[in-house]
């Protein structure tokens, strides 16, 4: 794995935040190993400050909602990690979580779309949801080019994912 990092990743802005961030969006309970593996691989290439994954990135005492939504807005890319239970996850009343406007997975993706952040689905033993399966607010996710992460090919799939993001972010002019 290369130790070279694009100049834009991890460079500090006046407020102390990295100027380019990679946001990892995932559903707890739906193949969470994938988000952790992706986080580890991205942090190794770009440094932890440039990669946002809520359990590692939100500091004690921070406002959760503000931290999440601000991190999405500051990001260059949001990785929507989609496993086999992502689409079918339900709330305690049996309603699809994605159809609830308060669902964090939905809110993060919607914020990315509104902020002009590139959204890349990363499929873990799952297929990309079709437009009619998604709430209208995030239905455009179904038309985004995706990457796959399969447990049998994890090292190669992770390397490709990191290389794709590295190439996409590129150096700062």
- Provide the residue-wise pLDDT of the chain in tens; the chain has 173 residues: 333 333 334 333 444 444 569 999 999 989 878 999 999 999 999 999 999 999 999 999 999 999 999 999 999 999 999 999 999 999 999 999 999 999 999 999 999 999 999 999 999 999 999 999 999 999 999 999 999 999 888 999 999 999 999 998 876 43
pLDDT of residue 33: 87
Angstrom distance (rounded) from CA 39 to CA 32: 11
Query: What are the pLDDT digits (tens) for 1-20?
Result: 333 333 334 333 444 444 56
Contacts of 110 (CB under 8 A, 6+ apart): 137, 138
Angstrom distance (rounded) from CA 130 to CA 143: 8
The answer to whether 57 touches 17, Cβ cutoff 8 Å, is no
């Amino acid at each position: 794995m290369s130790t070279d990092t694009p100049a834009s990743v991890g460079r500090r802005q006046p407020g102390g935040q990295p100027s380019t961030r990679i946001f990892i969006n995932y559903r707890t309970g739906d193949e969470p190993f994938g988000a952790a593996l992706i986080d580890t691989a991205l942090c190794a290439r770009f440094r932890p400050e440039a990669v946002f994954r809520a359990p590692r990135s939100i500091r004690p005492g921070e406002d959760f909602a503000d931290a999440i939504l601000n991190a999405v807005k500051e990001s260059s890319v949001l990785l929507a990690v989609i496993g086999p239970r992502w689409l079918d996850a339900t709330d305690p009343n049996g309603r699809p979580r994605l159809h609830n406007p308060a669902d964090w997975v939905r809110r993060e993706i919607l914020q990315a779309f509104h902020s002009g952040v590139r959204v890349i689905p990363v499929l873990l033993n799952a297929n990309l949801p079709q437009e009619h399966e998604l709430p209208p607010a995030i239905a455009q996710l179904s038309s985004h080019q995706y990457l796959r992460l399969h447990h049998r090919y994890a090292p190669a799939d992770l390397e490709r994912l990191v290389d794709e993001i590295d190439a996409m972010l590129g150096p700062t002019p």
